[in-house]
Structure 1
């Protein structure tokens, strides 16, 4: 499996910010109320970041174990669990970028007139955007933890090279 690419993640974030900004600006320009920005969204993003890190910690511990000691580990890493964790990390990286765009777009709509309730909503949007950025970064970090180092540098990796 190929990991999440930084360029693709940035593109997702920029495009989702632009689309959200245009749609919400049009929506609020027609006199409609902007969608709510609850603080529970920030708490949910923090929980997702913690879950992402918790899922990746066994991979990090295994990776930091010396290759000679890995075979003697009491409970080796299940390859299916490692693969699922890597897929979850990729989804977190891309999903975090998409959510980041959603909250940045909302912040851009609120930016021209920061008075009263709009200031509180703007701060909430920025904090939620920071949480989404943290989710994306956690996805990249855990994805890196899931990389398996080669067994031995001296051995050829492809059986046809022997």
Structure 2
């Protein structure tokens, strides 16, 4: 599995911001409500980020040798996938709500009220938290370089499926 690239996350956020801005412009033109998530979505975003962080700490503790029991490779793989999904979902939420906030700032908040603008900013902040947690937990799942050495003299053995520049994760399929 390849590591996430921050540039891809930025492209996704910009595309989501553009779509959010266009959606807000269209809903304002037709006097429809602004398409922003309610404040209760912050609870869900927080639970997802916390669950991802807890699972990532378990992998980190195993990786650093603080746990003697063998790590379940399926759990490690699920943790990595959850971290990446958390980062991608946070990127989409951040971009969408940034586009909404930009449109509301452009037209002024007289029609929709300041509550919608603050709500969009809160959701964007929640998206930032999800992206940060996802990227940090993804780093937790990496195997340190010294663990990859061995096998061939000089530690230059290439693992199955590994390409140059691609990192290994804690759930090696050897």
| TM-score tier (shorter) | 0.7 to 0.9
> What count of residue pairs does the alignment treat as equivalent?
153
User: Which moves more between the two structures, 45-54 or 134-143?
Assistant: 45-54
> Which one has a larger percent helix, Structure 1 or Structure 2?
1
- Aligned mate of 1:103, from 93, 97, 103: 97
Partner of 1:49: 49
Deviation readout 1:85-137 (Å, 9 max, x if unpaired):
11111111111101111211221232232248621111111011101111011
Residues 106 and 139 of structure 1: CA distance in aligned 2, closer, same or farther (over 3 Å): same
List aligned pairs for 1:22-101, cutoff 5 A: 22-35=22-35, 37-65=37-65, 73=68, 75-101=69-95
Q: Higher RCO, 1 or 2 (CA under 8 Å, sep at least 6)?
A: 1
Structure 1 window deviating more from structure 2 (8-17 vs 119-128): it is 119-128
CA contact (8 A) 1:17 1:104 kept: yes
Q: Do structure 1's residue 148 and structure 2's residue 143 form an aligned pair?
A: yes
CA apart distance, 1:152: 5.8
| Other structure's SS at 1:147 match | coil
CA distance in 1, matches of 2:57, 2:131: 16
State the distance in 2 between where 1:115 and 1:37 align.
20
Aligned to 2:21: 21
Residue 4 of structure 1: aligned partner: 4
Q: Partner residue of 1:138? A: 133
| CA shift digits 1:141-161 (9 cap, x unpaired) | 0000000124264533238xx
2:120 partner SS: helix
CA contact (8 A) 1:4 1:94 kept: no
Coordinate RMSD, CA, aligned: 2.0
- Residues in 1 aligned to 2:110 and 2:28: alpha-carbon distance in whole angstroms: 16
Structure 2, unpaired ranges of 5+: 160-174
- Rate the CA distance shift 1:8–1:78 in 2: closer, same or farther, 3 A: same
Distance 1:157 1:85 in 2: 27
